[in-house]
Amino acid sequence: MILSMILLFVIGYAFIAMEHKIKIDKAAIALLMCGAIWTIFSLLGHDENITHELIDHLGDTCEILVFLIGAMTIVDLIDSHGGFGVITDHITTHNKHKLLWLLALITFFMSAALDNMTTTIIMVMLLRRIIANRKERWLFASVIVIAANSGGTWSPIGDVTTIMLWMRGNVTSGALMGSLFLPALTSTVIPTAITARYIARKSTTPMAATASESRLPKGVGPRLSKFILVVGILSLLFVPVFKSITHLPPYMGMMISLGVMWVLTEIIYDKKRGIEESIKNRVSKVLKHIDMPTILFFLGILMSVAALQSAGVLTDVAQFLDRNIHEVFTITGIIGVLSSVIDNVPLVAACMGMYPVADTAAVASSIDPSYLQSFVQDGLFWHLLAYCAGVGGSILIIGSAAGVVAMGLEKITFSWYFKRIALLAVAGYFGGMAVIFLEHLLFGL
């Protein structure tokens, strides 16, 4: 049974990777893969609790999907009101190299406050208004994906996995930020510096050079555009604050934010007289443009991984690594590489289940206290796990939510990213690990 499930997963991912060659949407493959894997698990697993596990995993997956729908709606609402043009107006550099660095650094810091998926949506939508050449835009978008994944690792609210580690007490916010800021920055700087060599040295004229009013949709003035941008960004920033205060799941905060935006825009448009209903950018209109194939792709992928998790495949892998390697840099390094193919959430969840937080008594009584010391709160293993699971997802474009979103928005092909970006992401990944090693060696972080 286990071999059949793994084989189906591998075949499914192979077809997803060859989407542009076989001309079948990756969402369709993901849904078929999900159904087939769960069917085999049900027929051959002989587990009476499969239905309950399926419902539990579906609930966890739907949290991500609802969050994604809310984030995409708010971002599309800002864009439909010309909000991102306000930001572009302040990007005055005509130098593409400077533009690449500017976008990478903005993404890196924004991703630490927002989640990497939302940040990627915002920055890719912004990128469309600056770079006209499609293939050149793919290079910029790829750097944005890397910067978003890296930026999310050094903040307790920057990524789903860091939120998991933070809420369960494996790490604390201060120690995580202090330990991972430089490694995460390194994993962004190295790929950006290399990518800059591929960017043509000729200058570009950002669209900000033209009057912003000329780019605004019909019925939208500069004041409304700026208002929607400010309220939209504040709504997105509200989500991690809401979670920190209430400890409710992020999707609940996102739904509140979307509800507020919906009410505000309804009030605004109800007061606008003399404007045709067809040009009013209400939320109900924006929702019709949500990229549902991407949503369904997430559903299929996450539920497929959930089946492997329920079957014990991920736990078996973690146990194998612990028995045969017994070295935290190597274990987390492998987990990071795996996260480029397998979603990092179940990988981190499996590791958290396999390696509980060690206390001082357990360390003192251990036959290998130096190894077990890595598993105490804010131990080396947990910081490495947060870094590797997040940054490792940049190695393949399907390895992270940010990558999948960019892939969907810009139609970046798997093979193009693999040929041109994967090695750059690997260089940044190991560069950051080297910084962690030096921090641990020199300062005991």
pLDDT in tens, 224-237: 888 888 898 888 87
Integer CA distances (angstroms), 377 to 167, 268, 289, 339, in order = 12, 49, 44, 23
DSSP symbol at 325: T
Res 211 pLDDT > 80: no
Tokens 């539920």 sit at which residue? 303
Per-residue model confidence (pLDDT) at position 105: 92
Tell me what the pLDDT averaged over the chain comes to: 83
Q: State how far Cα 207 lies from the chain centre.
A: 28
Distance CA 366, CA 223 (A): 64
Q: What is the pTM of this model?
A: 0.71
Q: Which two tokens stand for residue 254?
A: 């996102």
Per-residue pLDDT, 88 = 63
Q: Are 147 and 108 in contact (CB under 8 A)?
A: yes
Statement: residue 35 has pLDDT above 50: yes
Higher pLDDT, 142 or 129: 142
| Chain centroid to CA 76 | 18
Task: For residues 311-330, give the mean pLDDT.
Answer: 80
Q: Say which range, 8-17, 208-217, 280-289, 338-347, has the weakest mean pLDDT.
A: 208-217
pLDDT at position 152 over 60: yes
Whether 407 shows a pLDDT value over 90: the answer reads no
Considering the chain, what percentage of its residues have pLDDT values greater than 90?
23
Q: Sign of torsion, CA 352 354 359 360?
A: negative
Assign 210 a pLDDT band (cuts: 50, 70, 90): very low
Q: What is the pLDDT of residue 287?
A: 87
pLDDT at 283: 86
